[in-house]
Homo-oligomer: A and B are copies of this chain.
């Protein structure tokens, strides 16, 4: 008498979590220095010092009732104003406080947006490789997930495949750039071409096809690259942002949904998002953290440790002969498995206590994912194993 799909979702451990638990177990047996765990995307740089300063200042100057009381469901107006100002300054946008809904991180934000758009037989497109949780988010509100195959080896977007996959039932395309798992940033050229297709098909079908931009890694880009602000490229964009990575606060569960003014059905869409959030038990985003974010809205992380790790790992792997997606952002490398089967390769690596995530669940079995938000010493110690694994396949 239990809901079977909920039971299945809760009892089938994710491959990533299983690898992580395996690593913990192995560390107890063989010691910390002999396990090389690249499985979990947990930020390894601390929150900027401004975050703790802000918390202390709030405790010193504000009342408990203000700090910890309910805010409106959409979040403090002053926080929404601060975020709008920041986006307008950085991207020449024209968003207003009333275009925002402060949420508890990208996951429930995506769920709320997807539920708001989940009409009968709705289809949601995702570009492989993609974050595997998109599947339960879509399927558990009755939607259908349509997967666009990966554009190997460039990991941009197979635009022809997108064009063929769009149907009158397509409600939205979920985009994640910088991408988890492949670390690539979609170029402005790719995005403009995608926008043209979506615009054409929206007109053809007589209803908007929304672009849901899942942006937890927006600020994590290297080599001076930039992540285009999608609402400037495609007007029917809904942004789902999170401070998990940009302020190294993954456990604090805070971010925002932005529905810019020019978005089709703007007011109705925001109402539906707010109703969807209510239906999943959203009351407000954590209140004190709302005040903290307001004070830290333009604080950016020091990405050097990630960038150094990225070079350390990517340069070495390339020198051994590994091929990989261009690692422009986030903290992931997406590497082609020697032999072409990442599951077999991951098993072989596991025998050496090297823990890597096969790309299967991301929709790309040929590649595996490495998280480089780790101790650089662990990277250094792991390199001989990577070398061996490609030399003795």
Measuring CB to CB, which residues of chain A are less than 8 angstroms from any residue of chain B? 1-11, 42-44, 46-47, 51-52, 55-56, 59, 63-65, 67-71, 104-105, 107-112, 115-119, 133, 136-137, 140, 171, 207-208, 248-253, 265, 268-290
Q: Is the CB of B137 within 8 A of A279?
A: yes
A260 to chain B, nearest CB (A): 17
Q: Once the chains are docked, how many angstroms separate the CA of A46 from the CA of B62?
A: 11
Assuming A55-B59, A268-B2, is B10 touching A250 (CB within 8 A)?
no
Nearest B-chain residue to A264, judged by Cβ = B1
Q: Which of B11, B43, B51 is A275 in contact with, Cβ under 8 Å?
A: B11
Q: Which B residues are in CB contact (< 8 Å) with A59? A: 52, 55-56
The residue among A63, A140, A207 with the most chain B CB atoms within 10 A of its own CB is A140
Q: Once the chains are docked, how many angstroms separate the CA of A208 from the CA of B281?
A: 25
Q: Is the CB of B119 within 8 A of A2?
A: yes
Q: Which of B2, B70, B136 is A279 in contact with, Cβ under 8 Å?
A: B136
Nearest B-chain residue to A20, judged by Cβ = B72
Assuming A107-B283, A252-B287, is B46 touching A276 (CB within 8 A)?
no
A296 to chain B, nearest CB (A): 12
A387 to chain B, nearest CB (A): 30
Q: Is the CB of A64 within 8 A of B52?
A: yes
Q: Is the CB of B281 within 8 A of A110?
A: yes
Q: Which B residues are in CB contact (< 8 Å) with A288? A: 251-252
